[in-house]
Each structure stands twice: as structure tokens, then as C-alpha cells.
Amino acid sequence: MTEKFEPVIIGFTCNWCSYRAADLAGTARIKYPPNIRLIRLMCSGRLDPTFVLKALAGGADGVMITGCHPGECHYLEQNYKALRRYLLLRRTIAQMGVDPGRVKLVWASAAEGVHLAEEITNMVEEIRELGPLNWPKWDTNGSKASVAVQEEVTA
Amino acid sequence: MNEKVGVYVCHCGTNIAGVVDVESVAQWSAETLKNRDVVVGRDYEFMCSSLGQELIQNDIKELGLTRVVVAACSPHLHEQTFRTACDRAGLNPYLCELVSIREQVSWVHTDKSAATEKAKAVISGGVERVLMHEALEPLQVPIHPATMVVGGGIAGIQAALEIADAGRQVYLVEREPSIGGHMAQFDKTFPTLDCSACILTPKMVSAGTHPNITLLTWSEVENVDGYVGNFTVSVRQKARYVNIDACTGCGICWEKCPKKVIDDVYEAGFGQRKAIYTPFPQAVPKYPVIDVENCIYFINGKCKACQIFCPTEPNSIDFEQEDQLIDIEVGNIILATGFDLFDSTRIPQYGYGKLANVFSSLEFERMCNASGPTNGDIVMRDRKTTPKSVGIIHCVGSRDKNYNEYCSTICCMQSLKFAHLVIERTGAEVYNFYIDMRTAFKDYEEFYQRVLEEGGHFIRGKVAEVTDAARTPEEEGKLIIQAEDTLIGRQRRIPVDMVVLSAGLEPRHDAKEVAKQFGIACSANSWFIEKHPKLDPVSTMTEGIFIAGCVQGPKDIPASVAQGAATAARVLARIQQGEISLEPVRASVIEEKCSGCRICNDLCPFTAIIFHEDRMVTEINPALCQGCGTCVAACPAGAITGTGFSDEQIYAQIDGLLMLNLEQPLEAVAG
């Protein structure tokens, strides 16, 4: 590979902490690589594991899940549920042949813009190391397998 | 039916346009996303300006847009602006999506072409998502007209008085036996040298006697339930062991009480009180409390001096009194819980706690106070010798990587006030050791000039240590302050009789727990986070919870009063409106799909999920649901859906961010 591989990472953020940390990183002009694209959820507890599978199936090379620190959830304790799902999800994707390092859980409070930017920077490098995921993409070559994966995920 | 989506890309001056090629992004949206029902893509210098908003409104009217995507700043800043603009043009506000290409793109990335590509992906995500949006109506929630103010310092008192004067009910909760807070401990206030008690006590008395204020002193919030407009707060009113209906506050009980206790709170450890006490003579309310940890009766069952000497009929002392839990319903809550003083023993080289004549700033405040332990005499620890020289060390625990990096704001002026008081009352030489002199705000710099003219010495440099180890005969028996004088570029050793440490302000030791209790956010160093640092410094991210005074960050009395009044204005506006619109972000159960498995039942911390045994289905109470979506994610049957954050919307956004289906007409996917 001559050209440097630029991974695409989908990031799920919590409206109350990590999304605000991302805002804060912006306001403070802290730099991180442009490989991450964020989705705002109300809470990390909203994270349905199929979101992650869908993102990976759809071409993302990694997924970052972010939420409030344990004990600081805006909805009291829902980030613990996110943590449980994350731990299970890591095992599941490993069984699917996907390196569990492609899915990462990061705690970031609304004040931790610098921390979030660092985590993003690190993750981009880690995924760059792992290389492209190359899961069959949605309908791009019409292969039945990819459609099956997609249907499985959205069902 | 085909949708008609308009995409609007903001330049934000050069904030976005300096990094992202906004014109090409707008053009790309109109061309490439044509298949995704985008009918127009425009860029404009400031979308949030009235002209920018009119641009969108005209397109809604003339092109018949059914969806709008604005690519600009964070939704936390302008989501409401653009939703309102859409609403004005007759489009349901929830059919407008604001995507952030400033905080999340132009401000954090430097590579222009990569940033432009990311901006396109972000917009594509927004378009896909907004196509899945549905028209929603905001939830209207009634506002309970009563307010709770937690913290009875000057900020809380001000807030309570403003609201009460406007004719609304206020519950003022204070942990200590009396309201007044730190301001009640001070002697003088800078820069006017007003007597602190003289300006504070009238306000305390007003708060204590106001028909609309219910004082709950010696009380702590134990639990907070509900949400904006409808909070239920459980307050534990600790047993005073004094019947306030009988007590006249005559003071005979604490006169007769044989047990002396060092007062760590009000006297900052410098003075004593009794086991039954009011913290200070002007206390509001006037009723004493019994400190059970030190009361002889509570320790060994004997004494009862207070009860024996109590002159009231019936006797006011009631050793059987118990804590009371009171549930109070309020619509809004103001937190004004203040600060803790930095503990100077954490800097051992300054000798606090080891060298007798090193004092903390609060100790010194009490010493200067006419009703304090020395009756206002500035004397050394022996309580009789007047110092001939005093060193005042600024920035103790502030602006220091080892303790707190922030500036505590008040210490420069506080130190100048101390310098003035020492000069005025003792004529001693005063040496101020400062890093920078920060005398911002009205009349502060003039006060600095005044202390300079009065003969105060100022040494610019951080103090290395305070020691009693003399090196020369002149230093014998003195405290030697070793510091670098950065203006002359030399180390100096200044022998003094007394050292005052101008300690910084820190968040309350239990700030994190309090923040959690009220569901608001703390910064890394535990100050409460305001909704916006400039434009909304008294609101929090949690609707209905406001913050005033030092709980938000170090500040002086005028700023605390201003914030107290500001929170009151915000709360009164809410009460006046009678109800508030809330985001209709709520989960609901599609009953036909619910299998009654009850997996979701235990997931809700707000007890919004109820199970109907008879029909074997689950239901979500929209008034209690906070919209976190945890149950939506958990339902194995996909029977729970969330308005404003449905699976379909998030799936669509993922597709959009990954730029899938760009070339495909919408129907092909939908079908």
C-alpha cells in the first residue's frame, strides 16, 4: 500500500457529556484527525449494538462509543447499561472475525474536550494500524452475502 | 411522496469558510444529493443572521421545502434559532436538522480538503436523518410556582428575596444553623470597606421575615425527584433539639452551657462556641441548635444546663426532637451552595498549622471582625501582642499547578483589604507577596493605589517558604518569608511577626455528589458547569436547575449578588409563562409488537415504565420519561420507539455519514 490508509470512524456521543466535549474541543480549537464522524444520541444507553454493526457493515473501519463517566450519567445510570452492551458486543464481533479493537468505549465529561480529542487521535492511529475492515459493503457489488449481512443487521 | 430538502451551509465569517470550502459543499449538496430529495443547496455568510434565516424561510415558502438541513455550528448553540425560523415559515420545527461543521469540522481540523470532505459526509448524514424525521409537537409542562433555593449565602439570599418580592413562594435551604454564608464571617468588604454585617444583616432579616420565604436552616437536601416545573425535593431538617415555637433566642442556654467547642465553621477554627449555639449574634433564625457530638447530655446523659436555665414556658429545649423529612414541590431550583476555602496545610512550606503566627485568610477575617474572637484586634496567636510587621501571601493554592491552576479572583482584593486593615489598626509594616496584581472591576484599581499610598510594600514573586529558622540576629524570633523578588531579580528574606495566607477558593468538598443529586454537570475541578460560559452563565444543561455565586466559579460579592438576581429573573420568567415547552424526545411502546417479556422494565431509573399484568404489555409514562432511549435500545422485539431518535433516523444517519446510496434515488431504498 503506497497511499496512507485513512480509516473512517463513526462516533456515537451522548448529548450531555461527550457531544459537549466535542463542542468544547472545537471552541478551544484542539486539533484531531478528520477521520471521525459523530452521531448525537441522548445517552450512551440509547446505543443499540446494531448501530455499531450497521456502521461496520456499511463501511466504517471503527466505531467509538462515548458516554458520561461512570456515576455521572445524566440519566443516572444508563451508561452502565452501555458498558454492559459494549462488553458483550466486543465478544460478538470477535466471533464474527472482527478485531474487537475496532470498537472502543470512551468516557468523556462535558469538560474533557482535550481528553476526547486525544482518544480520537489515538483511535485513528490504532485503526490505521489494523487496516481497512473491508466488510462487504451495502449493495455496492450486489453480492448476496453483503445483502444478507445488511438484512440481518437492520431486521 | 417526494420530500423537498433544503441544505444551508454557513460560512460563519471565516470560522467555517476559512477551512471548509463552503461554496463547493453547498453546490455538491444540491447536485450529488439531488437523488436524496435535496432541491436546493445554498451557502451564506451568517446563516443565523436575520437575513440568513429569511433565506431559509423564503425557500420554505417559495420552493415548498418539507425538510431543512443547516450545516453550521453546534446544535447546542443555534438549533433553536433555525427551528424557530422554520416554524415561522410554517414548517414543523422538528423537520429541521442542524449539523455541526464548525465545532466538529472547521475548528478541529487543519487539512482543508479533508475537512471539506468531512463536511459533505456530515451534511449527507443530516439529510438522511432529516428524511426520517416526523413532525412533532413540543410537550407542554406546567411550572409549579414555588422555587427552592439551596444555599443561604449572599447569592442564595439575593435570589430568594427577588423571587419573594415578586410575590412567589421560596424555600431557602441552608445546611448551617443560620443563613449568611461566608459573607457573614467577614469584617469589611472591598473596595468600599463597607461593614459586611451592616450590609448583609438587613437582607438576612428580610429573608427571615418575608411572608413568601420559608427558611429551612440546619437542613439538607436528601433527594430530588421529577423534572423542570415539577420537582419533588426531600429535605432533611436536622433536629435542633430546640422547640422554635417556644424559643425566644434570649441566649441564656448558650451562656450557661459548660461545653466549649472550637468553631471550625463560622470562626474558621480561630474561635470557640458552645455545644448549644447560634453561629453569630445576628443569626437568622435566632434559634440555637445543639451540637450532639459535643453536648455533654448526648455524650453521657448528664448536664441539661440549657434545659434547666431555659426561661421560656414551655421549656424550649427538647432532647427528644428528631430529624424531619419534608417533601417539597417546586418548579425550579437555584443552587447557590458556595465554596470551601483552600486548606493551607496542603502547602507545608508555608507553615500553616505548624507555625503559630501563620493565619488563614478566614481566620484573619474573624480576627478583624468586631464580634470575632479578638473583638477586632489584630494580634498574634498569643491574643495580646500587636504585630509590628505582617506578610500577606497571595495566590495560596491558586494559580499553582500543584493545587489549582485557576485564579481565585478575589484574593488580590482581599489581600489589599487585609493590608489596609493592618495599616489602619496597627500601623505595622505590611508586605504583600503577589504574582500579578489583579484588580479588575469598578473602583478596585483605585483601592490598590490607595493601599500603595498608605505605605504597603509590594513584592512581586512567589513565596518559596515561610520559616522560623533564623540566619541572622534580626531574624531571631520572627517568621522569615523567603521569596524571589522578580522586579529586582533577587532572592529576599523578609522577617515578619505575622503571616496571612490569602487562600484560594475551592468547590465544596461534596460538590460532585450535589451535582449528581440535582442531575447537573461539574467541570473537572468540580465547579458546576453553566449552560453557556458567556451567554447563559446561570442556567445549567438541566432544565429548571439554575446556579448562582461561587458554586459556578470563584467570584466576589457583587458578582454573586448579580448572579443571584439573574437566576431569580430567569425563574420568575418561567413562573410567569406558567408552562414550558420541552423537547418531545420520549420513548413509547407499540403495543401490538410488545411481547410482554419485561426486559425493559428494570432499565428505567425514572420509573417511567409500567407493566400491565392484565394485558401483558408494557407502557411508558411520557411525563416521567426523560428520553434517554435505553429501553428503545434494549427491546428485543423493536416494540419501543423513540420520537426524535428512532432506529430509522440513526440508521439513516449512519448511511449518510458513510456516504452510502448517494447515487440512488430515494424510492429505490425505501422500496
Cell numbers 415578586 correspond to B166
Task: With beta carbons under 8 A apart, name residues in chain B contacting A54.
Answer: 651, 654
Q: What is the CATH number of domain B140-176+192-237+327-338+541-582?
A: 3.50.50.60
Q: Chain A closest CA to B53's CA: distance in Å?
A: 23
Whether A59 and B117 lie within 8 Å, measured CB to CB: no
- Out of A6, A26, A154, name the one closest to residue B104 (CB): A26
Closest CA to B539 of B573, B490, B584, B511: B573
Architecture of domain A9-154: 3-Layer(aba) Sandwich (3.40)
Q: Which of B114, B121, B654 sits opposite A51 (nearest CB)?
A: B654
Do the chains contact at B114 and A34, CB–CB below 8 Å? Answer: yes
Q: d(Cα B408, Cα A77) in Å, to the nearest integer?
A: 33
pLDDT at position B252: 95
CB contact under 8 A, B657 and A10: yes
**Is the minimum CB–CB distance between A138 and chain B shorter than 8 Å?**
yes
Mean pLDDT of B377-385: 95
Residue B475 in contact with partner chain A when CB distance is under 8 A = no
> For chain A, what's the residue count?
155
Mean pLDDT of B609-620: 92
pLDDT digit string (tens) for B131-163? 999 999 988 889 999 999 999 999 999 999 999
Q: What are the residues whose beta carbons fall under 8 Å from the beta carbon of B620, sequence distance 6 or more?
A: B586, B587, B588, B589, B604, B608, B609, B610, B631, B640
Residue B235, SS3 per DSSP: strand
Write down the H helix ranges in B279-399: 296-300, 305-309, 361-368
Out of B103, B115, B653, the one facing A34 most closely (by C-beta) is: B115
Cβ(B68)–Cβ(B126) below 8 Å: no
Integer Cα distance of A41 and B102 in angstroms: 19
The CA radius of gyration of chain A, in Å to the nearest whole number, is 16
Q: Do B627 and A55 touch (CB under 8 A)?
A: no
Residues of B in contact with A31 (CB under 8 A): 108-110
What angle is formed at CA B348 by the lines to CA B344 and CA B350, rounded to 5 degrees? 70
Please give the C-alpha separations between residue B243 and each of B275, B277, B307, B318, B319, in angstroms, as whole numbers. Answer: 16, 14, 11, 6, 10
Span B340-506: which CATH code?
3.50.50.60
Is the preceding peptide bond at A33 cis, omega within 30 degrees of 0? no
Decide if B9 contacts B71 (C-beta within 8 A): yes
Show residues of chain B in contact with A6, CB under 8 Å. Answer: 114
DSSP symbol at B344: G
* CB of A88 less than 8 A from some CB of B: no
Cβ-based contacts of B650 with chain A (< 8 Å): 39, 41, 48, 51
Of B121, B541, B645, the CB nearest to A46: B645
Å between B282 CA and nearest CA of chain A: 40
Residues in chain A with CB shorter than 8 Å from the CB of B114 are: 6, 34
Q: Decide if B517 touches A, using CB distance below 8 A.
A: no
Whether A31 and B110 lie within 8 Å, measured CB to CB: yes
- How far is the C-alpha of A67 from the C-alpha of A75, rounded, in Å? 11
Name residue, grid cell 443555534.
B78
> What's the confidence (pLDDT) of residue B669?
45
Residue of B nearest to A27 (CA): B103
Higher pLDDT, B582 or B19: B19
Residues 6+ apart with CB under 8 A from A102: A56, A61, A62, A63, A93, A127, A130, A133
Average pLDDT score, chain B: 94
Nearest chain A alpha carbon to B585: A42
Q: Does B536 touch chain A (CB under 8 A)?
A: no
CA separation, residue A124 to residues A53, A104, B647 (Å): 18, 11, 26
In what side-by-side order are the strands of the sheet with B498-503?
A: B358-360, B498-503, B389-396, B429-434, B457-460
- The Cα of B37 is separated from the nearest Cα of chain A by a number of Å equal to 20
A109 touches B at CB < 8 Å: yes
- Reduce the secondary structure of B96-142 to three states and give it as a string: EEEEECHHHHHCCCCCHHHHHHHHHHHHHHHHHHHHCCCCCCCEEEE
Q: Are B134 and B173 in contact (CB under 8 A)?
A: no
Residue whose C-alpha is closest to residue B20's, from B105, B99, B86, B80: B105
Q: Which residue in chain A has the smallest CA separation from B657?
A: A37
**Residue among B642, B647, B655 whose CB faces A58 most closely:** B655
- DSSP 8-state class, residue B539: B
Establish if A80 touches chain B: CB-CB under 8 angstroms: no
Query: What is the secondary structure of B166-213 as a DSSP string?
Result: TT--EEEE-SSSSS-GGGGG-SEETTTTEEHHHHHHHHHHHHHH-TTE
d(CA B662, CA A57): 17
Task: Tell me the C-alpha distance between A44 and A83, whole Å.
Answer: 9
Q: What are the backbone dihedrals phi and psi of residue B446, each rounded to the nearest 5 degrees, phi first?
A: -60, -35
Per-residue pLDDT of chain A (155 residues; tens, 9 = 90+): 457 899 999 999 999 899 999 999 999 999 999 999 999 999 999 999 999 999 999 999 999 999 998 877 888 789 999 999 999 999 999 998 899 999 999 999 888 999 999 999 999 999 999 999 976 655 544 444 455 555 555 55
- pLDDT (average), residues B501-512: 95
Task: Please indicate if any CB of chain B lies within 8 Å of the CB of A60.
Answer: yes
Does the structure show a pLDDT above 60 at B650?
Answer: yes
CB B183 within 8 A of CB B112: no
Helix (H) or strand (E) holding B569: helix B557-577
Cα B452 → chain centroid: 36
Around B627, how many Cα atoms within 13 Å sit in the side-chain half-sphere? 17
Taking CA–CA distances from A41, the nearest residue in chain B reads B645
Inform me whether the C-beta atom of residue A128 falls under 8 Å from chain B C-beta atoms.
Answer: no
Instruction: Tell me what pLDDT residue B670 has.
Output: 41
Q: Does B660 touch chain A (CB under 8 A)?
A: yes
For B58-78, how does the pLDDT look when each residue is reduced to its tens digit (9 = 90+)? Answer: 999 999 999 999 999 999 889
Distance to chain A for B605, nearest Cα, Å: 7
Q: What is the DSSP letter of B36?
A: G
CATH match of B587-642 with 3.30.565.10: no
CB-neighbour burial class of residue B527 (10 A; exposed 0-12, middle 13-18, buried 19+): buried
Q: Which of residues 572-611 of B touch A (CB under 8 A)?
A: 585, 603, 605-606
Would you state the pLDDT for residue A140?
47
- The answer to whether A32 faces chain B, any CB pair under 8 Å, is yes
Query: Are B628 and A45 within 8 A, CB to CB?
Result: yes
Q: ipTM score here?
A: 0.90
Neighbours of A59 (CB within 10 A): 22
B52: buried, middle or exposed (CB in 10 Å: 19+, 13-18, 0-12)?
buried
Could you tell me the residue ranges of all domains in chain A? 9-154
CA nearest to A51 within chain B: B651
Residue with cell 425514572: B606
CA dist., res. B626 & res. B215, Å (int): 31
Distances (CA, A) of B418 to B164, B267, B329, B362, B493: 36, 17, 44, 11, 21
Nearest CA in chain B to A75: B628
**Residue ranges of domains in chain B:** 5-138+649-670, 140-176+192-237+327-338+541-582, 239-322, 340-506, 587-642
Report CB contact under 8 Å: B647, A32. Answer: no
Where do we find the cell 489494523?
A130
Task: Give me the amino acid identity at A21.
Answer: A
> What pTM was estimated for this model as a whole?
0.82
* CB atoms near residue B50 (< 10 Å): 10
Q: For residues B25 and B16, what is the distance between their CA atoms, to the nearest angstrom?
A: 11
Please answer whether residues B215 and B172 qualify as being in contact, where contact means their C-beta atoms are separated by less than 8 angstroms: yes
Q: Is A17 in contact with B521 (Cβ distance < 8 A)?
A: yes
**Position B671 pLDDT exceeds 50:** no
DSSP β-ladder status, B213-216 and B194-195: unpaired
Three-class HEC string of chain A: CCCCCCCCEEEEEECCCHHHHHHHHHHCCCCCCCCEEEEEECCHHHCCHHHHHHHHHCCCCEEEEEECCCCCECCECHHHHHHHHHHHHHHHHHHCCCCHHHEEEEECCCCCHHHHHHHHHHHHHHHHHHCCCCCCCCCCCCCHHHHHHHHHHHC
What CA–CA distance (Å, rounded) separates B7 from A37? 19
* Cα angle for residues A96, A99, A105 (degrees, 5° grid): 110
Q: Which fold has domain B5-138+649-670?
A: Rossmann fold (3.40.50)
Q: How far is the C-alpha of B16 from the C-alpha of B107, rounded, in Å?
A: 7
Whether the ω angle into residue B177 lies within 30 degrees of 0, i.e. cis, is no
**Is there a shared CATH topology between the B140-176+192-237+327-338+541-582 domain and the B340-506 domain?**
yes
Is B629's CB within 8 Å of A45's CB? yes
Bridge partners of B617? Answer: B612
Min Cα–Cα distance to chain B from A81, Å:
8
Give dist(CA B29, CA B118) in Å, integer. 13
DSSP annotation of B349 reads G
Is the minimum CB–CB distance between A107 and chain B shorter than 8 Å? Answer: no
Our separate counts of H helices and E strands in chain B read 17, 34
Contact B76 A20 (CB under 8 A): yes
> Which residue(s) pair with B219 in the sheet?
B237
Of B149, B66, B68, nearest in space to B338 by CA: B149
d(CA B227, CA B536): 20
pLDDT higher than 80, residue B524? no
